[in-house]
Amino acid sequence: MKILFVVSSFPKLSETFILNQITGLIDLGVDVEILAFQPIYNIENHPTVAQYHLLEKVHYVNLPQSYLKRLAVGLKICLQHPKQALQQLNILKNGWYALTLRSLSLLPKMGNLDPSYDVIISHYGPNGVVVEQMKQAGFWPNSQHYTFFHGYDLTAFRRRWGHKPYQILVQSDCQIRAISHYFKKQLSDLGIPDARLAVHHMGIDCEKIKPEKSIIKSPKTLSLVTVGRLVEKKGMDQAILTLAALKQRAITAELTIIGGGALSAQLHALVHALKLDAYVYFMGEQDQIVVQKVIQAADVVILMSHISGQGDMEGIPVVLMEAMAQAKPVLSTYHSGIPELIQSEENGWLVPVDDYQAAADQLKIIATNLAQIEPIRKAARLKIETDFNNRVLNQQLYDELSARTCYAK
């Protein structure tokens, strides 16, 4: 079976869920290629990128970030492919999103791509839109198409571009997969018929992440870690405020923040203003191995997710899955699909969004009772093994794709 993955950029450190799905299907014997609109130049990639020779499998569109440069490239494409270009720039059909020129920029690359992939998997709704536009233009006529929705594509994207771009997915035969039941309902409300809509969780490899077996003792200093891009929806400011609130409760604690992003300077300033410089450690972006080692050394993993001012929301954060797979105590918020992963006081803890005082209260209880939470730690690991096990999820996806192609057993 030959599959093309369509992604916005590759290899993106924060999108381990896509990387794990790609390598999982390769392990099952799938011939994989990747189409990415832009390259990512990391200081160090996840080890699996080299292990699976993934960079050799990538076709880059090299879509310019600058819109002026994009217009110049687009004009050249219009002269080379006038009929197809007009189809891609149809605002009445595709909405104002057509003017991003993403689908137009793909036209010159089509000659380098296999015209007969068995399956095309688009991650994020906008990439699914581009693939459907290509299919309507006559490309990939016999390829099955799946589009996975993760969060941004149903929140901030829709707030900016409206519903119009997704009408092509509503009217197509593309199979739509939501990564949570929360987003499945939104897709249903958008008009995706039930026959083409289902939930498929992202997951992690439980075989590679072993649970911590020793009983945790209450530490002198409570070690907290939070992982994610330094963007508004991740609630990194709330994590810092939670640390300050813990100190007001006479709990000695420290916070490690892993991730990079636009809010780095703002978060450093907040730490300094709260006089927490000696207690907060910024590690920047790290690969999966480093992240898992830091989680292993921590007492509790927290993620204070909330909706951003632009309407962006989480899906179900992979870092929480990785922590729970280690049987590590986790604390997060009642936000988006997170309650589908964490059932409060059963396999972790949830607090209201933006309530860092409640988070501090709960962490104080956890800090003084770490040795008594073994059932919660075991339940956390079991939840991942049962519902978020990548090997099971990838096998389910492989079986479904096989059933829809000539590779059905």
273 in Cβ contact with 279 (< 8 Å): no
Angle at 363 between CA 202 and CA 344, to 5 degrees: 45
ω into residue 141 within 30 of 0, thus cis? Answer: no
End-to-end Cα spacing for the chain: 12
The partner residues of 223 in beta bridges, in order of sequence, read 254
Q: Which residue reads 């994020």 in tokens?
A: 124
Helix (H, G, I), strand (E, B) or coil at 282: strand
Cα-based distances in Å from 283 to 229, 253, 258, 261, 268? 12, 17, 5, 12, 12
Please tell me the distance from the alpha carbon of residue 93 to that of residue 175, in angstroms, as a whole number. Answer: 21
Across-strand partners of 344?
Answer: 348
Which tokens sit at 52? 């699976």
Q: Residues 147, 192: contact at Cβ < 8 Å?
A: no
Contact between residue 381 and residue 327 where contact means Cβ atoms under 8 Å apart? yes
Measured in degrees and rounded to the nearest 5, phi and psi for residue 187 equal: -70, -35
| Radius of gyration of the chain measured on its C-alpha atoms | 22
Question: DSSP assignment, residue 32?
Answer: E
pLDDT on residue 215: 58
pLDDT given at position 214: 67
Q: Could you give the angle at the alpha carbon of 185 between the alpha carbons of 24 and 347, nearest 5°?
A: 60
Q: Are strands 119-123 and 58-60 parallel, antiparallel or unpaired?
A: unpaired
- The residues with which 119 forms a beta bridge, in sequence order, are 3, 144
pTM: 0.93
pLDDT at res. 408: 45
Please give the pLDDT value at position 116: 94
Q: How far apart are CA 298 and CA 268, in angstroms?
A: 21
Q: Dump strand ranges (E) for 243-395.
A: 253-258, 280-284, 300-302, 330-333, 349-351
Task: Name all domains of the chain by residue range, CATH numbers in brackets.
Answer: 2-203+389-403 (3.40.50.2000), 222-387 (3.40.50.2000)
Rounded Cα distance, 192 and 254, in Å: 46
Residue with tokens 């803890």: 349
pLDDT tens over the chain, length 409 residues: 999 999 999 999 989 999 999 999 999 999 999 999 999 998 889 999 999 999 999 999 999 999 999 999 999 999 999 999 999 999 988 899 999 999 999 999 999 999 999 999 999 999 999 999 999 999 999 999 999 999 999 999 999 999 999 999 999 999 999 999 999 999 999 999 999 999 999 999 999 999 987 656 667 899 999 999 999 999 999 999 999 999 999 999 999 999 999 999 999 999 999 999 999 999 999 998 999 999 999 999 999 999 999 999 999 999 999 999 999 999 999 999 999 999 999 999 999 999 999 999 999 999 988 778 899 999 999 999 999 999 999 999 999 999 998 754 4
Hey, which residues does 198 pair with through a beta bridge?
177
**Sign of torsion, CA 287 290 296 298?**
negative
How far, CA to CA in Å, does 280 sit from each of 253, 255, 269, 276, 370? 9, 5, 12, 6, 22
Give backbone dihedrals phi and psi of 81, rounded to 5 degrees, phi first.
Answer: -130, 65
Task: Give the angle 118-124-126 at the CA atoms, nearest 5°.
Answer: 95
